[in-house]
Amino acid sequence: MNRKILISPYGRALGVFTLFALMMINSSAALADEVTIGMSKEVAYILNSFMFLMCGVLVMWMAAGFAMLEAGFVRIHNTSVICLKNVALFAIAGMMYYLIGYNLMYVDVGDHGLFGTFNIFYEPNATELALMATDDENTAEIKAKTLQILAEEDYSTMSDWFFQMVFVATAASIVSGTVAERIRLRPFLIFVAVLSAFIYPIQGSWSWGEGWLNGIGFSDFAGSTIVHSVGGWAALTGAIILGPRVGKYGPNGEITPIKGSNMPLATIGTLILWMGWFGFNGGSVLAMNSTKAVTTMSVVFVNTNMAASAGCIAAMFYAIIVKGKPDLTYVLNGALAGLVSITAGPDVASPGTAMLIGAIGGVLCSMAIPMFDRLKIDDVVGALSVHLVCGIWGTLAVAIFMTGDFVAQITGIVAVAIFVSSTSAALWLFLKYSIGIRVHDEHERTGLDHPEVGTEAYAGFYYRSNTEEQDEDV
């Protein structure tokens, strides 16, 4: 399933058919019960583009969701730095995608199917710019340019670009949560830049860019693999190469829980992500110019919600059974797990199936969190369990419950895993042995906010030092 050719040939060829059929009828009485389909190409162009913009804004909003989720899950002395990272990574991801990424992901991938073009900048096309610059009074010119655009495009190029751009930031956001509380700011932001410019777009070109994975039938509607597991693999390699936080794992296998400092922030972060996900999955229908498109979009909205709900409640029951209490962090991550799980196939599941997929995702995520701890892979916010584990699960679910092909799905999962893990690992190692990726132990103990960004997160409040907290826990 590719992401470029989004308007069905039906939209192109047949959209205006019935409208015309209607014209043959002369009696207005007869018209009263007439059912008409189709619309002018211009209305289709407007509806598609506006949908991209509105859904894109919802996805952009997820940047705030990740920022709050992570700010809630880190300790007090690391809060400013995680806030800064989340804002800066959204800015950098967009700029790198504009400079290099989009072309690499979507422009002329078809020839070999491995990546697009290496041009820099992606701009509105010349006809669009000319139309925008035309004086409103010059109706003949406007009409000519409009016809030219409508002959070639089904939506404004930059509305699509905007929608694609906000996706790359999501992938980058996943990384920041896992490697929080001990990574230095500079190498992290460099990693984000390379991820956004090269790693994410190249693997994205294979599927959404109409490359080789698309050719073999790999199906990932809104990015369980293409977005979420990409962020997950980049985060996993980072977590391994970076190592766990000081004091997290004891010499005899003890695991010290390190509590997040602000649960209401983590809660609003989760609800922001839930909200934004309607744009993430819903907008991935990639069109709104037909009954089929908007009917699908409605089902996608519902399935997205049901999977999140079921993931949340499944994780709550899991926590009650395993831990005796419905730990809030499990509930929040369970909702996100449900969301990631349904992302590969929200268009083909029924609401009931979506609930099942989401519930399994919620349980898998809850089981993965202690598993990563046993492996001494330190993931501050649980992003690996949410985005990597459930990203894989969701992609497989398309084959299990729906129309997806198992071989294609597994091929896609593995190919993305190999490519992203190897390139990410190489990049992390390069950064480690060049500028260094880890803060000083002393800085980690006292908190990163002062040494890394110089901004106290909660000035005026009394709070424990990081060390003091660890003393208590040990």
Residues 50-69 contacting a second copy, CB under 8 A? 50-54, 56-58, 60-61, 63-64, 67-68
Give bridge partners of residue 255 from the DSSP assignment.
Answer: 249
Rounded CA separation 463/314 (Å) = 34
Binder of a second copy out of 194, 222, 234, 312 (CB under 8 A): 312
18 binds a second copy (CB under 8 A): yes
Residue placing its CB nearer to a second copy in the complex, 301 or 419: 301
Site for a second copy in 89-118 (CB under 8 A): 90-92, 94-95, 98
Q: Residue 292, interface with a second copy (CB under 8 A)?
A: yes
Near a second copy by CB under 8 A, which window of 106-114, 148-156, 207-215, 236-244?
148-156
Options 108, 215, 216, 301; binder of a second copy; rule CB under 8 A? 301
Smallest separation (angstroms) from a second copy to the CB of 108: 20
Residues 157-196 within binding reach of a second copy (CB under 8 A)? 157-159, 161-162, 165, 185
143 belongs to the binding site for a second copy (CB under 8 A): yes
Residue of the chain from 289, 333, 385, 409 that contacts a second copy (CB under 8 A)? 289
Which of 100, 109, 149, 222 is in the footprint of a second copy by CB under 8 A?
A: 149
Which two three-digit tokens encode residue 438?
């880890």
Residue 1: helix, strand or coil by DSSP?
coil
- Is 210 a binder of a second copy (CB under 8 A)? no
Residue 331 CB, shortest distance to a second copy, in Å, is: 5
414 makes contact with a second copy (CB under 8 A): no
- What's the closest the beta carbon of residue 299 comes to a second copy, in angstroms? 5
- Candidate ranges 141-149, 206-214, 419-427, 436-444; the one touching a second copy (CB under 8 A): 141-149
| Phi, psi (deg, nearest 5) at residue 24 | -75, -20
Report the C-alpha gap between 412 and 424 in whole angstroms.
18
216 binds a second copy (CB under 8 A): no
CA–CA separation, 449 vs 232, rounded Å?
Answer: 25
Which of 110, 217, 243, 351 contacts a second copy by CB under 8 A? 351
Question: How many Å apart are CA 457 and CA 452, to the nearest integer?
Answer: 12
Among 41, 228, 245, 443, binds a second copy (CB under 8 A): 41
**Which position among 108, 110, 128, 246 is part of the footprint of a second copy (CB under 8 A)?**
128
- The least CB distance from residue 425 to a second copy, in Å, is 26
258: CB partners within 8 A, 6+ apart? 75, 181, 245, 247, 248, 380, 469, 470, 473
CB under 8 A, 24+ apart: contacts of 422-426:
423/198, 423/199, 424/191, 424/195, 424/199, 424/233, 424/234, 424/237, 424/238, 425/237, 425/241
CA distance 8 to 401: 25
Residue 371: other Cβ atoms inside 10 A: 13
The SS3 call for residue 287 is coil
Distance separating alpha carbons of residues 115 and 127, to the nearest angstrom: 26
Which residues ranging from 248 to 277 are in contact with a second copy (CB under 8 A)? 259-268, 270-272, 274-275
Tokens of 355: 């609930």
CA dihedral (242, 243, 244, 247) positive or negative: negative
Kindly state the DSSP code that residue 197 receives in the 8-state scheme: I
Residue 252: what residue type? N
Q: What DSSP letter does each residue of 242-273 carry, written as one string?
A: H-PPTTTB-TTS-B-----S-HHHHHHHHHHH
Which residue type is seen at 45?
A: Y
Q: E strand or H helix at 391, and its extent? A: helix 390-401
In terms of CB distance, is 175 or 415 closer to a second copy? 175
Which segment (130-138, 220-228, 367-375, 433-441) binds a second copy by CB under 8 A?
130-138
- Where does this chain touch a second copy (CB under 8 A) — which range of 75-83, 207-215, 219-227, 369-377? 75-83
Instruction: Name the one range near a second copy by CB under 8 A: 105-113, 170-178, 235-243, 326-334.
Output: 326-334
CB of residue 472 vs a second copy: minimum separation in angstroms?
Answer: 10
> Which run of H or E residues covers position 171?
helix 157-178
Q: Which is nearer to a second copy, 390 or 416 (CB)?
A: 390
* Residue in the block written with tokens 């399933």: 1
CB of 412 to a second copy, least distance (A): 21
166 or 383, CB closer to a second copy?
A: 166
Interface with a second copy includes 426 (CB under 8 A)?
no
**What is the distance between the alpha carbons of residues 184 and 175, in angstroms, rounded to a whole number?**
13
Whole-number minimum distance, CB 65 to a second copy, in Å?
Answer: 9
- Separation CA 193–CA 187 (nearest Å): 10
Task: Look up residue 356 and give its two tokens.
Answer: 């099942």
Please identify, using beta-carbon distances, which residue of 25 and 321 lies nearer to a second copy: 25
Choosing from 197, 308, 356, 364, the residue that interacts with a second copy (CB under 8 A) is 308
Of 71, 226, 235, 398, the one binding a second copy by CB under 8 A:
71
Q: Closest separation between CB of residue 285 and a second copy, Å? A: 10
The region of 173-181, 229-237, 351-359, 389-397 touching a second copy under the rule CB under 8 A is 351-359
